[in-house]
Chain A
Amino acid sequence: MTTTHSAASDAGGAGQAAEEPLAEHFEVTIARDRRIEPRDWMPEGYRKTLVRQIAQHAHSEIIGMQPEGEWITRAPSLRRKAILFAKVQDEAGHGLYLYSAAETLGADRADLTERLIEGRQKYSSIFNYPTLSFADVGVIGWFVDGAAICNQVPLCRSSYGPYARAMVRICKEESFHQRQGYELLMTMMRGTTAQREMVQDAVDRWWWPSLMMFGPPDDASPNSAQSMAWKIKRHTNDELRQRFVDMTVPQADKLGVTLPDPELRWNEERGHHDFGTPDWAELMRVIKGGGPCNTERITRRRTAHEEGAWVREAATAHAAKQHERATKESTA
Chain B
Amino acid sequence: MSDSAHDDDHVYLSLAEGHDDGSDARWAFGTGFEDPLHGVDTTVPEGVDPVELAATCVELADDALVSAQRLAEWCTRAPELEEEVALANIGLDLLGQARLLYARAGQVDGTGRGEDAYAYFRDADDFRNVTLAELPIGDFAFSVARLLVLSSWRLAHFERLAAHQDPVLAAIAAKGAKELTYHRQYAAEWAVRLGDGTEESRRRMRTAFDQVTPNLDELFTAYDVRSEVVEVLRQVTEAAGLTLPPVPPAPGAGRDGRHTGHLVPLLAELQSVARAHPEATW
Contacts and interface: CB of A to CB of B under 8 A. Distances in A.
Contacts of A250: 16
B79 interface: yes
Contact of A83 (B32, B84, B115, B198): B32
Interface stretch (B40-48, B88-96, B159-167): B88-96
Contacts of B274: 76-77
Contact of B28 (A180, A235, A304): A180
A75 interface: yes
Interface string B182-193: 000000000011
B28 A311 contact: no
Interface string B110-151: 000001100110000000000000000001100000000000
A223 interface: no
Interface string B18-39: 0100000001111110100000
A131 to B, nearest CB: 12
A78 B119 contact: yes
Interface stretch (A35-43, A89-97, A158-166, A279-287): A89-97
A329 interface: no
A314 B198 contact: yes
A191 interface: yes
B227 interface: no
Contacts of A182: 15-16, 19
A149 B11 contact: yes
Ranked nearest first, the 5 interchain pairs of A and B with the lowest CB-CB distance are A308-B79, A314-B197, A314-B201, A89-B88, A311-B79
Contacts of A87: 28
Nearest to B20: A186
A314 B193 contact: yes
A318 B189 CA distance: 11
Interface stretch (A118-126, A170-178, A200-208): A170-178
Contact of B79 (A66, A179, A307): A307
A197 to B, nearest CB: 11
Interface size class of B (residues with CB under 8 A): 35 or more
Contacts, number: 201
12 contacts: A72-B72, A73-B269, A76-B280, A81-B95, A82-B95, A82-B99, A89-B89, A149-B11, A310-B198, A311-B80, A314-B201, A317-B197
Interface in A49-99: 62, 65-66, 69, 72-83, 85-89, 92-93, 95-96, 99
Given A73-B69, A73-B73, A89-B85, 17 more contacts: A72-B72, A77-B116, A78-B95, A78-B98, A78-B99, A83-B28, A83-B32, A85-B72, A85-B95, A176-B27, A182-B15, A186-B19, A194-B280, A311-B79, A311-B83, A313-B201, A317-B196
A263 B79 CA distance: 47
Contact of B16 (A194, A254, A307): A254
Interface string B259-282: 000000000011011100101111
Contacts of A66: 76
B78 interface: yes
Interface residues of A, number: 75
Contact of B282 (A184, A194, A254, A313): A184
A25 interface: no
A177 B78 CA distance: 23
B4 A234 contact: yes
Contacts of A7: none
A69 B88 CA distance: 11
A319 B79 CA distance: 17
Contact of B281 (A149, A187, A251, A318): A187
Contacts of B29: 86
A89 B31 CA distance: 13
Contacts of B34: 79
B273 A86 contact: no
